[in-house]
Structure 1
Amino acid sequence: MATSARAPQEHLYREVRGLSRGLAVLRALNALPGGIGGVVELARVTGIHRTTVKRLLETLRSEGLVHHKDDGASYALGFEVRRLSEGYVGADWIDRVAAPAMRAHLRALSWPSDLATPDAGFMIVRESTHRVSMLSQHRATIGIRIPMLVSSLGRAWLSWCAEEERVATLALLAQRTDAIGEMARDGGYVKRIIRETRRRGYAMNRGEWASESSVTAIGFPIRIGEHAIGAINLVLQNNVVSDREVATRYVPLLRQLADGISEATSSAPRG
């Protein structure tokens, strides 16, 4: 007796297009300065027709996820967006230790910072002050995948992580067919980056990340004991801050922040 094949689970349900579009509008609004934007601006960013964007915004408003701003021509994120995040459980040390420390140091640092942890050959931004720094060129960086070998975050973690983690990460990167894969296969290049980073005491990149060529970033590892579990950076504009100012002002400040997070994370009870 013949039996019919069961359809793969992912084919049993169709995408709810309205929900996808509503989420696209929320993400776009979150990425705008201050989380505020109008219908025309959101339509341009999302590629969704203005009439549809207006309907979606009004639906989101009825659910408390956005609200009218000023004269009603603009919309802002509502309190319900934050309430939704309360069920999310991130890495405990990031939420409990790193995030408050980063906010406390923002006044002294001025420039924005990202805190990231490794994942599948990338550094994933877990916490950031981009959204509150007046000097930030980006407003939404949490969740962004940062390339490992050309960023200060990646270089800081690679230089101080456990040896087996470094070997495994470089082997994963070496399988890629792009420029990052080529770098990972160049043992001399990798050794030089790690040697220079350790000797300097912190990681640095000066525009090596092609999509951020105007940026100078410095990075320190976040460590428990001897080994890095993540990294934190400071993102500066090349044409605004001199190398001397980076070395004499910002490196000591970022080191203090990184050391504070590392010490508090190491000493905190973990269950």
Structure 2
Amino acid sequence: MEPTNKRNFAPVRALERGLALLQDLSLYKGAHPQQIARRLELPRPTVVRLLETLEGLGFVERSPSDGSWYPTLYVRSLSDGYNDEAWVRECAAPEIERLGKQILWPVDLHTLQNDMMLVRESTHRTSPFSIQHGLVGTRLPILHTSSGRAYLAFCPDEEREAILDRLAQNPANQAALAGDRRHITKQIAATRQQGYGLRSGELIRATNSLSVPVHAKGRVQAVVTVVWFVSALPVAEGVRRFLEQARECAARIAQKCEAFPDMTMRYRRENSNSTD
């Protein structure tokens, strides 16, 4: 229905601004107050007050990893235009933050997106042992990361073969390694046997990492990754210290995901090339 210009009363300016802010957050999939203020041409203090008001009502929340604001699941009570990335913030972000506080080393959440591993949440910003910041949104090569190895090891066989076929056909995207199926098969078998993905000084030589899959709704929904310095801990010691806690974190995320709607549709939207 088209809006009408006929009004019996003066518009409630605060309500107009609040709804405009919710539309802005949904359109841009999260933002900082200064970005919202610029786009809506509002003073930053006004935007902050609106955000805090909407937070108190349960409509928005602040990401613990980068400080940006997002609409929550409760927005679905207003419309169908809900951002399906909310499962990361509501199911995973609190658990990633919790694990990061326990171990102090950086913790990431990765998901598959078009044959790459996408950093969806991270404690790099708050970890005292991180030299990298602003990683959320970064895409990483699936074959050279512990998260990618964990995903490939525990995803369905048909999906894995389809991913490797596409990578092998793209010279700019890990083609040489993807074409070595004997090496990949051996690596996947080892990852399955140990139950986690491992990266030792590859891609980023200064760090090691281990990754644990998050199984929910009948598939791997995400991967929890712990990163530490090569110079601080040998691989075996890092695994000994962090593996069980990472598994517990993944299990808590999985439990929340089971109760979250539309997880399967989210996967299909993000991976339109996949066979599943």
- TM-score by structure 1 length? 0.66
Shift of 1:243: 2.7
Q: Are 1:113 and 2:107 matched, yes or no?
A: yes
Give the counterpart letter for 1:242 in structure 2.
P
Of residues 62, 67, 90, the one that matches 1:96 is: 90
Alignment correspondent of 1:150: 144
Give the counterpart letter for 1:64 in structure 2.
R
Output the CA distance in 2 between the equivalents of 1:262 and 1:187: 30
Aligned CA distance change for structure 1 residues 261 and 84 (closer, same or farther; 3 Å)? closer
Q: Deviations over 1:213-235 (max 9, x none)?
A: 11101001111155312211011
Shift of 1:96: 1.0
Of residues 261, 264, 274, the one that matches 1:270 is: 261
Of residues 47, 59, 64, the one that matches 2:44 is: 64
Indicate the SS of the match to 1:149: helix
Indicate the SS of the match to 1:194: helix
Output the CA distance in 1 between the equivalents of 2:246 and 2:260: 25
Output the CA distance in 2 between the equivalents of 1:208 and 1:226: 31
Aligned CA distance change for structure 1 residues 134 and 108 (closer, same or farther; 3 Å)? same
CA contact (8 A) 2:217 2:257 kept: no
Output the CA distance in 2 between the equivalents of 1:261 and 1:146: 22
Indicate the SS of the match to 2:117: strand
Shift of 1:263: 2.3
Output the CA distance in 1 between the equivalents of 2:69 and 2:220: 31
Root mean square deviation, CA, Å: 3.1
Q: Are 1:138 and 2:132 matched, yes or no?
A: yes
Shift of 1:83: 7.1
Shift of 1:245: 2.1
Output the CA distance in 2 between the equivalents of 1:270 and 1:179: 33
Output the CA distance in 1 between the equivalents of 2:236 and 2:139: 29
Of residues 240, 252, 265, the one that matches 1:260 is: 252
Shift of 1:242: 2.3
Of residues 187, 192, 198, the one that matches 1:193 is: 187
Output the CA distance in 2 between the equivalents of 1:197 and 1:217: 13
Shift of 1:265: 1.3
Indicate the SS of the match to 1:124: strand
Q: Are 1:181 and 2:161 matched, yes or no?
A: no
Output the CA distance in 2 between the equivalents of 1:151 and 1:106: 19
Output the CA distance in 1 between the equivalents of 2:97 and 2:122: 9
Alignment correspondent of 1:231: 223
Q: Percent identity?
A: 28
**Contiguous gaps of at least 5 residues in structure 2:** 1-31, 33-37, 46-61, 73-81, 263-276
Give the counterpart letter for 1:120 in structure 2.
N
Shift of 1:254: 0.9
Q: Deviations over 1:68-113 (max 9, x none)?
A: xxxxxxxxxxx9x967644982423211110011112222121111
Indicate the SS of the match to 2:233: coil
Of residues 220, 244, 262, the one that matches 2:236 is: 244
Q: Deviations over 1:107-154 (max 9, x none)?
A: 212111111111111011111111111111111011100100010111
Which deviates further from its counterpart, 142-151 or 249-258? 249-258
CA contact (8 A) 2:213 2:223 kept: yes
- TM-score by structure 2 length? 0.65
Output the CA distance in 1 between the equivalents of 2:207 and 2:260: 37
Indicate the SS of the match to 1:176: coil
Aligned CA distance change for structure 1 residues 183 and 100 (closer, same or farther; 3 Å)? same
CA contact (8 A) 2:208 2:235 kept: no
Give the counterpart letter for 1:215 in structure 2.
T
Q: Deviations over 1:9-30 (max 9, x none)?
A: xxxxxxxxxxxxxxxxxxxxx9
Give the counterpart letter for 2:138 in structure 1.
I
